[in-house]
Structure 1
Amino acid sequence: MKRILVMVAALVLLGTYPLSAETVSRIAAIVNQEIITTAQLDREMRELLAQAPPDREPAAEQLPALRRQLLQKMIEDTLIQQRVAALGIEVTDEEVSQAIEDVQRQNNIDRPQLEQALAAQGLSFQAYREQMRSQLLNFKLVNREIRRKIEVTNQELRDYYQAHQDQYRTAPYKRLSRITFNLPSDAGPARIGAVRAKAEEALQRLRSGETPQQLLERLNAADPNIEGGDMGTFTPGTLTPPFSTAVDNLAAGQYSEVIETSLGFHILRVDERSAGEMRSFDSVREEIRRQLMEAKREEAINEWAESLQKNADIEIRL
């Protein structure tokens, strides 16, 4: 069963379709002796479809299903309103204003900009205030009804951490540096061979103990086409295939063979290598708590919604 606060976004995305007006308003449903009429249902349907993009028009055979789904939402909304009234839950004008100010602040807009955006959607500011009031009422109701059901214990946090350790391991990475012997686009075989030989000689110097910085400074002073330096860190899958293959099995401090690409010849050095580290339980405790709280909240809302409908007297007459 869908949760009682289910939105009908899928319906809104569906486009407009003309509805035939009913000459006689009949009873669509009775919810704890409160009547929902076909006139109310048709009005809601027209308003819903009027919000849809004109190029997403539903086929005629889709309309009965859309109508049934909308009636279900109206039943759910009626149950919520009845429960709000029974519990005496209220939302003050000040709370509504504060919530709207929060929306403006989060979207970095002022009141005139908000009203302009609402007008573009065919919604007045007063209607928006009432929508916000309804949302706050629902929020207060749900929190009151399910608050006691969503406690997360320390043992649950630790059990989740132990069972999902892969989620809390940092990605393996390599930090690389390079020396590149660039080739001009019009280089012929002789030039390519000479540059390759220069790269091979440089590699031997590096492996004999000359530092990359010393070698690079000396080479670059003689030939500005030779350059390089720190490349940063790379996680699996982020290096190009030739570079990845060249350094996959290298330990920190080791050099690759000379790598040939369309741009020239390259020597890579693995400056640092990490297989990934486990984040400590204390560092992820609150992250896990939020995740489990949300899952429990979702479950509690569904159970509460089912209970609300199960204990209601609902008669659908369509």
Structure 2
Amino acid sequence: MALIVNGEEIEDETIENEFRTIKGHYERTLQVACCERDPEFRALAKDNLASRLIIQQEAMKRFPEVSTEDVKSRLAKLIEESGSEDQFLMRIGMPVKDEGLLHAQVSNGVRMDKMMIAVYAPEPTPTDEDMRAWYEKNIQYFLTEEEVKASHITLSLAGARSRAEVYTQVRELRGKALAGADFDALAVEHNSNKETPPDLGWFKRGEFMEEFECIAFSMNEGEVSPVFTTQLGFHICKLTGRKPAVPKPFDDVKDEVRHRMLEQHRDEKFNVFVDELKKAASIEDTDPDEGCGCGH
């Protein structure tokens, strides 16, 4: 028994699952190695679970009974959003329909909806002047995507006697380009894939392989890259244009501004609400951090 919230226990297995989910996220984003941050992640797991439980407890306290009509309405909406009842049941992890459990889960959702409507109220109705001021203060949310234009030379390893041979050839081509040779002419003559034009045109992040984009977006216009590799072989590229991110016109993003203002309002209200519940709650952590068990 590791965590007791207002007399209600949170099982060790639940805490461990939450901990592993948090740690897995940081591992996937390369922000953690081994167990160096395990105490932090375990504390975060416990805080997440305690927060969720006190919110559920408060919803049950405020709305102990919900109407059958509200439950049916919410269930119908969830099924419609999922595409079918079977898909909805799969999404919530219920391979076999359990009427009692399903009713309980949907009822909890109804309670949460009712409570959050009360928490968020009154919601703002910003004027155009309010929205324009918020837009100008938070302009980083309303920028176009940066674009670059590049030409490339790619030599495949297929049929080569060695990687060193291909690398040397690409390096020689880079030397010619740096000396003033026409880059696209070199590409037409030497590219392994003759069907792909040298000029890749304008592109944004996420349209090509990450290895290529890291090089292209880090270059200055007119610059020829160092030799680099991907799974396709050895490459060099030349940046031939750059369109920096610029603010989108206010009138084009007015709806997005309104939405973001509403989301900010809700986030602030929610955080205050949860903090107040946690201050009033009895939260007992009976077990110290156990580490990761790997010997470190």
How high is the TM-score relative to the length of structure 2?
Answer: 0.54
Aligned pairs, number = 242
Q: CA deviation at 1:161?
A: 1.1
Superposed counterparts of 1:134-149, under 5 Å: 134-143=108-117, 146-149=120-123
For the aligned residue pairs, the C-alpha RMSD in angstroms reads 5.7
For 2:136 and 2:87, the matched residues in 1 are separated by 51
Answer whether contact 1:179 1:226 (CA < 8 A) is retained: no
Q: Deviations over 1:147-179 (max 9, x none)?
A: 434333322211111112223222433111224
User: How high is the TM-score relative to the length of structure 1?
Assistant: 0.51
Corresponding position: 1:100 with 2:49: no
CA deviation profile, 1:196-217 (whole Å, cap 9, x unmatched): 379838975528xxxx47x765
Where in structure 2 are the equivalents of 1:1-318 lying within 5 Å?
41=7, 45=9, 49=11, 52=14, 76-77=58-59, 79-81=61-63, 91-93=67-69, 95-111=70-86, 114=89, 124-143=98-117, 146-180=120-154, 184-186=160-162, 192=168, 196=172, 200=176, 206=182, 212=184, 219=189, 225=192, 227=194, 229=197, 230-231=199-200, 233=203, 235=205, 244=216, 248-251=219-222, 256=224, 260=227, 266=236, 268-300=237-269
Inter-partner Cα distance in structure 2 for 1:151 and 1:173: 35
Conserved 8 A contact 1:181-1:195: no
CA distance in 1, matches of 2:52, 2:174: 75
Partner of 1:24: none
- Tell me the CA shift for residue 132 of structure 1: 1.8
Structure 1's 192 and 77: CA in aligned 2 closer, same or farther, altered over 3 A?
A: closer
Offset, 1:283: 2.2
Distance in structure 2 (CA, Å) of the matches to 1:108 and 1:288: 30
For 2:135 and 2:240, the matched residues in 1 are separated by 32
Kindly provide the amino acid, as one letter, of the partner of residue 248 in structure 1.
M
Give the whole-Å Cα distance in 1 for the aligned partners of 2:55 and 2:234.
65
Equivalents in 1 of 2:277, 2:227: separation in Å? 69
Which of 143-152 and 196-205 deviates more?
196-205
The offset of 1:185, in angstroms, is: 3.8
Q: What is the alpha-carbon distance in structure 1 between the residues aligned to residue 276 and residue 177 of structure 2?
A: 78
Q: In the aligned structure 2, how far is the partner of 1:201 from the partner of 1:69?
A: 60
Identity %: 13
Unaligned ranges ≥5, structure 1:
1-15, 20-28, 30-40
Aligned partners of 1:115 and 1:302: how far apart in 2? Answer: 31
**What is the Cα deviation at residue 91 of structure 1?**
3.4
Task: State the Cα distance separating 1:80 from its structure 2 match.
Answer: 0.9
CA distance 1:300–1:256, change in 2 (3 Å): closer
Per-residue deviation, residues 68-113 of structure 1 (Å, max 9, x unmatched): 989966873464137xx8xxxx6343x3223223323434452597
Secondary structure of the 2:148 match is: strand
Relative distance call for 1:113 and 1:51 in structure 2 (3 A) is farther
CA distance in 1, matches of 2:155, 2:95: 58
Q: Which structure's CA Rg is the greater one?
A: 1
Q: Which moved more, 1:294-303 or 1:160-169?
A: 294-303
